[in-house]
Amino acid sequence: MEQPTRREADPTGLDLAAVTGWIDATRPGLRRGPLTARQLTGGLSNLTYELTDGHSRWALRRPPLGHALPTAHDMEREYRILSALHGTTVPVPPPVAVCADREVLGVPFYLMGFVDGVVLDRPPVLDRVTPAQAARSGRLLMDTLLALHDLAPDAVGLGELGRPEGFLPRQLRRWTTQWQSSATRSVPELDALVAGLGSTVPAPSPAGIVHGDYRLTNVIYTPDVDRIAAVVDWEMATLGDPLTDLGLLVVYHQLSADGGFVMPGLAPDRGFAPPEELVARYAQGSDRDLGTLPWYVAFGWFKLAVIAEGIHARHLAGLTVGAGFEQIGTWVPHLLGRGLAELSGGI
């Protein structure tokens, strides 16, 4: 089959000629026609594209353009997690192949099956959701998180994914280092939040698989919102304290009330569950002690601020792809301030 040459029309960050050659060599017969591609919206870090040969569809995932933060954007690791979780009680896109050869795209990447469904990430999509579907979306979101946290890592081949011992102090150090690696300015709230978190680290919850960025917009629902077809964006998954997932999920839903940055508006009067209902659903299905949840929520604000600062740094360097990046830097002090308020006030 004739291979195409690099085209100016290819999406930024993707060379279809190179990908075509790699697919044909790695999975002979998988491709049945010329490839076309488009970048998928959503997500502020790794880049994801829809590929089709006119017969089948796949999703290709690669790191962002420009400098990657230390330990971030490990495509081979993310592919390993998908492969381990595929077929378990946690739905994920079917893995197809991974490429560690930087000669193909300049970075590692992987290919997975394209999952049809809806992501509740934009007003036009949310406007079509009924109150019953909105309520069900929250229940499904929490039940799937509970299923993930109930998985035994060794049973699915992920027993060596991370080191649960000392997880919370290590995470705090790691994200502080991430900040130092990408900070573009001095933000007074940063030092105060790091000090407060460090002096109040709770006893950890029993270890499990942590998604690392679990939220409504990182799951794909079936068109009728009657089940979750796939959980995506596993780049920060590890073994550790699962309550970090719950804390960050609360942060995202609190952000929804702020009307911007990552999360769409999820109005309770439309049927979407507020954060306290999501936490109650989790508490019903888990025997984990949620008494120290405010610390995890505050840590979620800190973590999201660090991610936002890294994206802001890439935007200033002209290395982001897509719209909306110009406002992210203004959110960083706000995120840190919310973390301080959570730590001092609690839930």
pLDDT at 322: 60
Phi-psi region of 92 (alpha: psi -120 to 50; beta: other; left: phi over 0): beta
- Average the pLDDT over 178-197 and give the result: 92
CATH for 16-113, options being 3.40.50.300, 3.30.200.20, 3.40.630.30, 3.20.20.220: 3.30.200.20
Of 338, 333, 174, residue with least CA distance to 240? 174
Q: Pick the residue with more confidence: 231 or 186?
A: 231
Cβ count within 10 A of residue 225: 20
Percentage of the chain modeled with pLDDT above 90? 74
The pTM score is 0.90
Angle (CA) 264-270-272 rounded to 5° is 65
Q: Are 313 and 182 in contact (CB under 8 A)?
A: yes
Q: Does 326 have pLDDT greater than 80?
A: no
User: Is-contact 213 236, C-beta < 8 A?
Assistant: yes
Which residues belong to CATH 3.90.1200.10 in the chain?
123-345
Helix or strand or coil: residue 206? coil
Q: Where in the chain is the domain with CATH 3.30.200.20?
A: 16-113
**CATH code reported for the domain at 123-345:** 3.90.1200.10
Q: How confident is the model at residue 1 (pLDDT cuts 50, 70, 90)?
A: very low
Q: Is the pLDDT of residue 275 over 70?
A: yes
CB 251 within 8 Å of CB 308: no
Listed residue (253, 233, 237) closest to 300, CA to CA = 253
As a 3-state breakdown, the chain gives helix, strand, coil percent values, each rounded to 5, of 45, 10, 40
